[in-house]
Chains A and B, each alone.
Chain A
């Protein structure tokens, strides 16, 4: 749940930068924004640290808890988790470094346009940044301060009947895991920092795996193809076909069917007395027949209405 804080923070930070860049979204054309937008810079940095899971930011504890839990259930899951964490740390800092460090690579015009975002953006940014930093502490695991799981205490009336965590790793293992991930994360951060802080626009393209890793285009494309597009398509399908045509169609169709049958049944009322009397006599016959066969009819009706 701490995730929500820094995710929101990142989104807003990115929005703030794009705003400043007058709609430019490509971080290759940014750089050096540190001096133009200090607040955005700091908050963005905090968010990156948090999401990368650097202690003591909020992401650290939650990530650590998740990884510990994963380790408890299966080491394979844990390794994937660590790998994911490393990737996250790497690409976050790549973005950070490209955007805020180094020299400005945009056009002259954009450089003039650069400015700190209005308060509407910076205030929520700051609030979220504070939350992103401290939110971790309320979830500090028992490892650091026994019985200090503030969140649990704080929600004590709610969780009073919660069973204790079923699987607890020994503290030693937890320390070990924590240390390994932290070191790896920090290493990957440093790598990214070094690599991209002085990024130049015409720098030679990376080769091989570096190219894939470094190029956010691939990530975006994969993300686009695997998640975003199908998701959008699927929800579009639900919205336009299932909801509008199928469900609403049935609902409105019922109404239309009633109107249609109204138009048809109305025709029985022809205004001809002879016709009416014929109908009456026929119905009389039907009543007679129905009366002497009512047992079957009732059985049929009860079969319909279960």
Chain B
């Protein structure tokens, strides 16, 4: 059952390459993504505890095809599974030259990310980690904006550098395992000296930090988000960025506990600085896509800081925030791309008076923005609150500085809204109409999720409790 989560998108993706008709490819992709979503939902609801699967793969080097699905994996698989249908349904009207290709790459990306979240074997994890990257690279470079090749390549080469460091780290640790095995459990039971921990820690964390991205390794992100096609941007920021946080919680914290205690201060400093830095830059951004990109960097910075605060409460916050930020940022991107389609510009200064022209869009954007600001009763409030709480317990100054970002977020969000929706109707907005129905439906679904999870976040907390406990009390 668990393997279906990977298998459905892979098979559908490969078939999709050979589908000539755009309509058929669209139906196939939508069907497959809904099927995956269904499978994920059934698994998450019915399965109690951790679901595992173990098949022999490379016995000579001690690597197995083993998947396991604990609370965190369940939640992120669900996010991954829910994101794709939403992305597809909201971008389905966009015109691409070769739809079969486009949807195939999108589905393969999803499969790769599923693998990352499910893998319980470190080599397998590395495999999927890279495999998620290749299709998204092709997708964005083929269908992106005018400077796509350079921008996406920067993203690619950045992450590739990180993952090669990760590979060295994996091999380094693998050689230290007593039974020469890549199984996650034997990595967990390694006894490493302090130096070994430090080396391994940086080799691993560098890859994850680039993926997140943590300041000052973030510069690929705004460029990539700006240039990628909207579907690519959505999947990148809604799901793929979470891979970094996920991997940090799954690998770095349990494997290198002492190194984490040594270096968490410096990482929190970088994360908090990055949080403020990205928020400040967002204030001056005139480009809607870059604004969202920097806002996303800020949120990720907070999550990273909360992870390394090593507080149970902070970790709980990170867990649910991973899901909620995914949903919110997806909503933001969908609205942003709808606005871009309507007005033909991404510049905030050219979008005045949109509220009169497209009130529904304006309301939806406002909801997404408020969720992004983590207003109470929206989903991200709880997560953010818990994370700040964790940070405050770690160090009052770290928490205080991080809290400044709340104000900054409010400033840039509200300014952006003001600039876009009120004021004079500009020449770009005068012909704008409401977004098409499919986009609106996708946004309504997201809104419902935002409010439901904002009012009743307990399911997510319960779901990820086991991982939090496991990570906090492993050693």
Q: List chain A positions with a Cβ less than 8 A from chain B.
A: 1-2, 4-5, 7-8, 11, 15, 18-19, 23, 118-121, 123-124, 131, 135, 155, 157-158, 161-162, 231-232, 234-236, 238-239, 242-243, 247-248, 251-252
A135–B454 CA distance with the chains assembled, in angstroms? 14
Known: A120-B355, A120-B360, A238-B280. A4 touches B219 (CB 8 A): no
Closest B residue to A121 using CB positions: B355
Contacting A at CB under 8 A, from B370-412, are 370, 373, 375-377, 381-382, 385-386, 389, 410-411
Find chain B residues with CB under 8 A from A157 CB: 458, 461-462
Residues of A within 8 A of B313 (CB): 158, 161-162
Q: Are B356 and A231 in contact (CB under 8 A)?
A: no
Q: Is B422 an interface residue (CB 8 A)?
A: yes
Say whether A239 contacts B216, CB under 8 Å.
Answer: no
Closest to B358 in A: A120
CB-CB under 8 A from B363, the residues of chain A are 120, 123-124
> B421 contacts the other chain (Cβ, under 8 Å)?
yes
A251 engages B381 (CB within 8 Å): no
10 contacting pairs across A/B (C-beta < 8 A) = A5-B375, A7-B410, A120-B359, A120-B363, A157-B458, A158-B313, A162-B313, A231-B411, A238-B280, A239-B281
Given contacts A238-B284, A251-B219, A252-B154, 5 further A-B contacts (CB under 8 A): A11-B414, A121-B355, A158-B386, A161-B313, A251-B158
Q: Does B133 contact A (CB under 8 A)?
A: no
Looking at chain B's contact residues, the main secondary structure is helix
B376/A18 in contact, CB under 8 A: no
Interface size class of B (residues with CB under 8 A): 35 or more
Judge whether B154 and A235 touch: CB under 8 Å. no
Q: How far is the CB of B55 from chain A (nearest CB, A)?
A: 37
- Give A239 to B360 CA distance when docked, in angstroms: 32
* B336 at the A interface (CB under 8 A): no
Question: Which of A11, A119, A158, A252 has the most B CB atoms < 10 Å from its CB?
Answer: A158
In B257-276, the 8 Å CB interface with A consists of none
- The interface residues of chain A lying within 8 Å CB-to-CB of B366 are 124
Give which listed residue, B280, B282, B359, B458, contacts A234 with CB less than 8 A: B280
Chain B residues with CB below 8 A from A131, complex form: 377
Interchain CA distance A120-B462 in the complex, whole Å: 37
Q: Name the CB-closest residue of A to B413.
A: A8
Say yes or no: B284 contacts A236, CB within 8 Å. yes
Interface assignment of B316: CB less than 8 Å from any CB of chain A: yes
Per DSSP, chain A at the interface is helix
Residues of B within 8 A of A239 (CB): 280-281, 284-285
User: CB within 8 A of B359: which of A1, A118, A247?
Assistant: A118
CB within 8 A of B375: which of A4, A231, A235, A242?
A4
B154 lies within 8 A of A18 (CB) = no
B285 touches A158 (CB 8 A): no
A131 CA to B376 CA, complexed, in Å: 10
CA distance A242 to B276 in the complex (A): 13
A158-B219 in contact (CB<8A) = no
Beyond A158-B316, A251-B219, whether A23 also contacts B424 by CB under 8 A is yes
Expressed in whole angstroms, the Cα–Cα distance for A121 and B363 within the complex equals: 8
Picked from B356, B385, B410, the residue with its CB within 8 Å of the CB of A118 is B356
Q: Residues of A contacting B219 with CB < 8 Å?
A: 243, 247-248, 251
B280 and A4 contact, CB distance less than 8 A? no
Q: What is the distance, in angstroms, from B227's C-beta to the closest C-beta of chain A?
A: 14
Question: Is B423 an interface position by the 8 A CB rule?
Answer: yes
Residues of A within 8 A of B220 (CB): 251
Of chain A, the residue at the smallest CB distance from B362 is A120
Q: How many angstroms from the CA of A102 to the CA of B377 in the assembled complex?
A: 37
Q: Which residue of B lies closest to A119 (CB)?
A: B359
Most buried by A among B219, B312, B389: B219
Contact residues in B for A2 (Cβ distance below 8 Å): 376
The answer to whether B359 and A235 touch across the interface, beta carbons within 8 angstroms, is no
Contacts of A248 in B (CB 8 A): 219
B449 within 8 A of A: no
Contact indicator A15/B316 (Cβ below 8 Å): no
Determine the chain A residues whose CB is within 8 A of the CB of B154 once the complex forms.
251-252
Cβ-closest 9 pairs across A and B:
A120-B359, A235-B280, A248-B219, A235-B283, A239-B281, A235-B284, A239-B284, A15-B422, A4-B375
A1-B376 contact given A123-B363, A243-B281, A248-B219, CB 8 Å threshold: yes
B144-173 interface code vs A (CB 8 A; 1 in, 0 out): 000000000010001000000000000000
Within the complex, which residue of B284, B373, B386, B461 is in contact with A4, where a contact is CB–CB below 8 Å? B373
Alpha-carbon gap, A239 to B218, bound state (A): 13
* Cβ < 8 Å to A, chain B residues 192-231: 216, 218-220
Contacting A19 at CB < 8 Å: which of B218, B280, B385, B422? B422
Q: Is B17 an interface residue (CB 8 A)?
A: no
List, in ascending order, chain B residues with CB within 8 A of A124's CB.
Answer: 363, 366
* B142 close to A (CB within 8 Å): no
Decide: B421 and A15 in contact? CB cutoff 8 A. Answer: yes
B103 CB, nearest partner CB in chain A, Å: 32
Q: Is the CB of B422 within 8 A of A18?
A: yes
Hey, which chain B residues are within 8 Å of A155, CB to CB?
382
Query: Hey, which chain A residues are within 8 Å of B284, CB to CB?
Result: 232, 235-236, 238-239
Cβ-closest chain A residue relative to B361? A120
Which A residues touch B421, using CB under 8 A? 15
Nearest to A156 among chain B residues (CB) is B458
* A235 and B376 contacting across the interface, CB-CB below 8 Å: no
Are A231 and B283 neighbours in the complex by a CB distance under 8 Å?
Answer: yes
How distant is the Cα of A161 from the Cα of B468 in the complex, in angstroms? 14
- On chain A, the residues within 8 Å of B312 by CB distance are 161
Q: What residues of A have a CB within 8 angstroms of the CB of B359 in the complex?
A: 118-121
